[in-house]
Chains A and B, each alone.
Chain A
Amino acid sequence: MYRYDEFDKAFVIARVAEYRDQVDRRMKGDITEDQFKPLRLMNGVYLQLHAYMLRVAIPYGTLNGRQMRMLAHIARKYDRGYGHFTTRQNIQYNWPALADTPDILAELATVEMHAIQTSGNCIRNVTADHFAGASADAVADPRPYAEILRQWSSLHPEFSYLPRKFKIAVTGSEHDRAAIKFHDIGLHLKRSDTGELGFAVYVGGGQGRTPMVAKKIRDFLPESDMLSYCTAILRVYNLNGRRDNKYKARIKILVHETGTDELTRQIEAEFDAIRNGDLKLPDGDIRAIEAYFEPPALPDRPGGGDLLLEAAGEDEEFSAWLDHNIDEHVHRDHAIVTISLKNIGDAPGDATAGQMDAVAAIAEQYAHDEIRVSHEQNLVLPHVAKADLTAVYQRLQAIGLATANAGLVTDIIACPGLDYCALANARSIPVAQDISRRFADRLRQEDIGDLKLKISGCINACGHHHAGHIGILGVEKKGAELYQITLGGSADENASIGQIVGRGFGPEEITDAIETVVDTYLALRTSSCESFIQAYRRVGATPFKEALYGRESKAA
C-alpha cells in the first residue's frame, strides 16, 4: 500500500494549517462567504440541507484498518455515528460543524487521508477498479498509475481552475468495474502485442444532464507517456472548454462539439510538443510506486475450497453469500469478498462507526489489512484465504453486513437525494429502501439474476441512473416528486446510456413500476441464463413500455 513520503506528509499538514486559518478568518468575519465558499469547497466542505457535509477522498478506493478506524472515529466524535460511502470512492459525513472541520482534517492527516480536490473545478479523486491487485482477470494493478496521477494532479497550478470538474478512472482488466467510459478520462491498462504496459485512452464520458459514453482516442499509449498525454488532454480542454455555460463546460461537450477526430488531432499535436519533456515517466519511478502496491505475500492455504463446500452444504444463506459476494482471486487459495452495504431496507452506502471498526478488525485479522471501497457503494476485502471465509462470514453476520446480494436487484446504487442534498429535486434513499424491501426474498432475487438498479435524485446523476440496467431519475413536478425510469444503461466495457421509457411515476407508484419491469423481463427472457441487460438489448423497450403503460404506449 502507498505510504506518504516526507513531501506528502508536509504537504497535507500545511494544507490543514492553511484551511484552519481560512475557517478562523471566516468565523471572525474577516472574509466573506463569497470569498470563503471556494476555499471550503477545495477542502471538501459543502453546505447541504441540514448542515455542512464533508467529503473525504479514498484514493483509488484503497484503505487499511487504521484508516477505516479513523473514519469510524470521525463519525463518532464529530458526526452522528455513521458515514455514507459514495459512488466515487469517497466517504461523506452529513453533520459536521464548520468549526470542527479543521480538526477533522488534522485527524485524517495522521492516517494519510485528506479531502483535497473532492470538490471544485479541478482534477478530482482518481478512482480505480476496486478489485485491483487481486482479481484473476487483470493484466496489472492500475493503482500505481492512479497514485502517479494523484501526485501529479494535486494542486496542479495549471489545472486548478478548469472550466468544470474533471474525473479520471483507471482499470487493469478487460471487464471494466471502474466505469471508465463514464469519466472525463478513462484509462484501460493493457499489454501491447510485444508485452509492454500501456493504456487505451478514452475521453469525454460522463453522466449529468448530457450523458455521453467516452470515445477511444488512443488504442495504446505507452505507460511512460501517461502524464504527458493527460497533460495534453487537459491543456486542450482548459483552453477550449466552454466557460460561458456551466452545463456545457465538461470535456464531453467539447468532444461532442469539436468532433472526436479533430479533438484527437489537437491532443496529439500538443502531446507531440511535450512528449519527450519533463513529464516522461522514468521506468524507475513507475516501478518505485508500483512497489508500494505489491500484493501481500499470500501463503498457500490448500483445502480451503473443500471446507467451504462442506460448510455451504449445511447453510443455505452462507452458500448464497459465497455465490454472490465472492470473486475469483489471482491466488487459487484466496478469494475477493464483497461486503454489501445494501442490507435489505437500509440506506445504500451507509455504515455505522461500529460497522467500520468491525470491518477494520476483520481486515486486520483475515485480509492482510486491506479494504477497498467500490463505486457501487460496497466495501471489499481483496485478499481473504478461502479457508477463512467461514470465519469472515460469521464476523460480518454479527455486524449485519453479510447480505448475500452483490450484483443483484437489491444491490442498489443511490445518491443521498433530497433527504440530505441541496441540489436534489426528489428523494432517492426511501425509493431504494422500498424497492429493496419489495425484492427482499433471496430466491426471487437469485431468479432475477444480475441487475444493476441505480437511482439519482436529480439530473446531476450522482446515483449513476444513466448507467443502470434500470435507472430511476427523481424530478420535481408541480411541487411533487416524480420518478422517470430509464432502461438499458450499462457502465461496464459494453457501456451504454439508458433510455427514458415513458412518463414518470409518483413516489407511491415507482416500486410497482419497477416490479412490472422486472416481471416483464422474467416473462420474456429466453432462459435464466439471459440476464436483464441481454434480454433488453435483444427485445428493446417496447415490451416494457406496453407492460408499464398498456395500449397508451402503442397509440403514442
Chain B
Amino acid sequence: MKILTANRLADGEAVWLAADQSWSGVIDAAKIAEDKSAEEKLTLAGQAAFLKNEVVDVDLVDIDVIDGVLVPRRLRERIRAAGPTNRLDLGKQAAANRRVAA
C-alpha cells in the first residue's frame, strides 16, 4: 500500500494527498493506493500539483495499516509525519493526541 507525500512550496511543511485531492497536513487523511492503477492516479495528481507550484519533492511512500492506523514503513517517513524524535514539542506531534515517530 502506498500514499503520496510532498512538501508545500510556500512553507515546506510535510503534506499528504487526501481523498478530496487536497493536501493534508496530517498523514491520517492520506488517500491509500491499494494497487498499481491507484498508485498511478496518485502519481499523476502529484505531478499536476507540482506543475501548479503547490508542492515540491513529491514521493510515493510505502505504508501499513496497523489497528486502523496508517504507519509508514520507513522511519524517515514516520519522522516526517510526526516531527523530530528528540523534540516532541515540535512538528505535527506537538498538537494534542498526535503520535510520535519512535
Contact = CB atoms under 8 A, between A and B. Distances in A.
Contacts of A95: 90
Interface string A72-87: 0000000010000000
A310 B32 CA distance: 69
Given A418-B75, A418-B76, A50 B84 contact: yes
Interface in B6-40: 7, 9-14
Contacts of B46: none
A481 B12 contact: no
Contacts, number: 75
Nearest to A95: B90
B79 A49 contact: yes
Contacts of A419: 79, 84-87
A453 B31 CA distance: 44
Classify the secondary structure of B's interface with A.
loop
Give the one of B10, B53, B86 with max A CB within 10 A: B86
A112 B7 CA distance: 31
Interface size range on B against A: 20 to 34
Interface in A20-52: 26-27, 29, 33, 47-52
A433 interface: yes
Given A26-B53, A47-B57, A479-B73, A98 B85 contact: no
B12 A479 contact: no
A97 B74 contact: no
Given A49-B80, A50-B80, A97-B10, A479 B75 contact: yes
Interface string A421-463: 0001001011001000000000000000000000000000000
B63 interface: no
B67 to A, nearest CB: 20
Given A29-B52, A33-B56, A50 B83 contact: yes
Interface in B43-73: 50, 52-53, 56-57, 73
B11 A97 contact: yes
B57 A51 contact: no
B76 to A, nearest CB: 6
Interface in B74-102: 74-76, 79-80, 83-87, 90-91, 102
A420 B9 contact: no
A418 B86 contact: no
A479 B76 CA distance: 9
Nearest to B94: A80
Contact of B85 (A80, A99, A430): A430
Contacts of B83: 50
Given A49-B76, A98-B9, A98-B10, A420 B53 contact: no
A347 interface: yes
Given A33-B53, A33-B56, A427-B75, 7 more contacts: A33-B50, A50-B13, A50-B90, A52-B12, A418-B75, A418-B79, A419-B84
10 contacts: A27-B10, A47-B57, A50-B12, A52-B12, A98-B10, A427-B86, A427-B102, A430-B85, A479-B74, A481-B75
